[in-house]
Amino acid sequence: MLSIARLAVLATLALPLAACGAACCNTAASSQAEAFKRISAADLNAKLAAKAPLFVFDDNGDERYKQGHIPTAKALKADAVTADQLPADKAAMLVFYCGSDKCTACHHAAEAAIALGYTNVWIMPEGIKGWEAQKFPVE
């Protein structure tokens, strides 16, 4: 049986998670529901440098894309993902990113790609801000 002190600790830990909601990037509940994988900015930079076969999509909008984006990235609004904007190969590695780890646009774009039947879908949660903070190249 749980003591009152243990119940108080559990309640204190549960409140911030409940307040966060499903849109939060870091809750255990949201990670369990995600069908996409995560890649760090450093790992994506290494893959790009090695010329790995992958497709990168910037979900930040046209103005931010023009200010600078990850090399090879194509601008793609998260709410406008369609099969004609993605490669024909449904097993191709797709990487979506947005502004930062506070933004969820890349999550929505990745979910849309999965709904279209893509099976190798990734997000880079650090976003362009994390990419630039590590001084990786931008176009």
Q: So what's the pLDDT on residue 35?
A: 85
16 in a domain, yes or no? no
Q: What is the pLDDT of residues 58-75, one digit of tens each?
A: 999 999 999 999 999 999
| Residue 68 belongs to a domain | yes
- Name the strand (E) or helix (H) holding 60: none
DSSP 81: -
CA distances from 75 to 6, 19, 48, 72, 80 (A): 49, 33, 17, 10, 11
Average pLDDT, the chain: 81
How many separate domains does the chain show?
Answer: 1
- Give a yes or no: residue 20 inside a domain: no
CA distance 126 to 98: 8
Q: What angle do CA 31, 104, 33 make, to 5 degrees?
A: 20
For residue 33, what pLDDT band results from cuts at 50, 70 and 90? low
Mean pLDDT along residues 44-51: 96
80: domain CATH number is 3.40.250.10
What range defines the domain where residue 43 resides?
29-133
Name the band, by pLDDT with cuts 50, 70 and 90, for residue 113: very high
Residue 11 domain-assigned? no
Largest CA distance in the chain: 59
Q: What is the pTM for the complete model shown?
A: 0.75
What percentage of the chain exceeds 90 in pLDDT?
71
The answer to whether position 1 is within a domain reads: no
Q: Are 91 and 117 within 8 A, CB to CB?
A: no
- Fill in the amino acid letter for 137: P
